[in-house]
A and B are shown apart, each in its own frame.
Chain A
Amino acid sequence: AQKITQTQPGMFVQEKEAVTLDCTYDTSDPSYGLFWYKQPSSGEMIFLIYQGSYDQQNATEGRYSLNFQKARKSANLVISASQLGDSAMYFCAMRAARGQNFVFGPGTRLSVLP
């Protein structure tokens, strides 16, 4: 069975600094995809970044990058130059290639301080 663990219920970061949000996963499938979503207080889930299990390079999207360590089964999200608008819940999610459910972690609440 698939499982996502996010061990940080809440994180604080100073504006303009970088922050890393942790995500570890568990699956027996060799082919899988990892996703990060942002959920502001408005409630909408916003897709941020995707990493495939066979991708050779870490994914990057603007200020977001994914620190993918396959052997450790971790897929940490790095946000550079934090902005006040980054304050939100962040969810790590995974789907294995064999048609299993899209599984979300419990989330990390990020607060950016001015």
Chain B
Amino acid sequence: EAGVAQSPRYKIIEKRQSVAFWCNPISGHATLYWYQQILGQGPKLLIQFQNNGVVDDSQLPKDRFSAERLKGVDSTLKIQPAKLEDSAVYLCASSLVSIAGGSTDTQYFGPGTRLTVL
């Protein structure tokens, strides 16, 4: 079974530029998550999708970040314009069970995209 795919693996941009990350979850996984992991910290949830609907985006900086999952499969996370503090690893994860399934839904992560903003 193929795992979660992400691209690109690395991205270097200058501040105020735009950047987009792509994620393809494990086949059949209804729930997709985007996390931001700043160096030395644990991942922080940015947004959670259930199929193509947003379940939780309370920690997404909506003035500059946006995400979509139009067909309920792959997803794109965009930053526009980027700031220096956006330098981080952006992790995508997916899980089989819906959020209504409760606590048991194990999340499986992709390799991440390391973003450096200069």
Residues of A at the B interface (CB closer than 8 Å) are 4, 31-33, 35, 37, 42-47, 50, 52-53, 91, 93, 95-99, 101-102, 104-107
Contacts and interface: CB of A to CB of B under 8 A. Distances in A.
B110 A44 contact: yes
Contacts of B109: 37, 44-47
B111 A44 contact: yes
Interface of B: 33, 41-45, 48, 55-56, 59, 89, 91, 93, 99-100, 102-112, 114
A102 B45 CA distance: 7
A95, A99, A102 pick with most chain B CB within 10 angstroms: A102
B103 A31 contact: yes
B41, B55, B89, B103 pick with most chain A CB within 10 angstroms: B103
Given A43-B89, A105-B42, A106-B41, A95 B110 contact: no
B42 A104 contact: yes
Contacts of B45: 101-102
Nearest to B55: A99
Nearest to B102: A97
A45 B37 CA distance: 11
A99 B59 CA distance: 15
B44 to A, nearest CB: 8
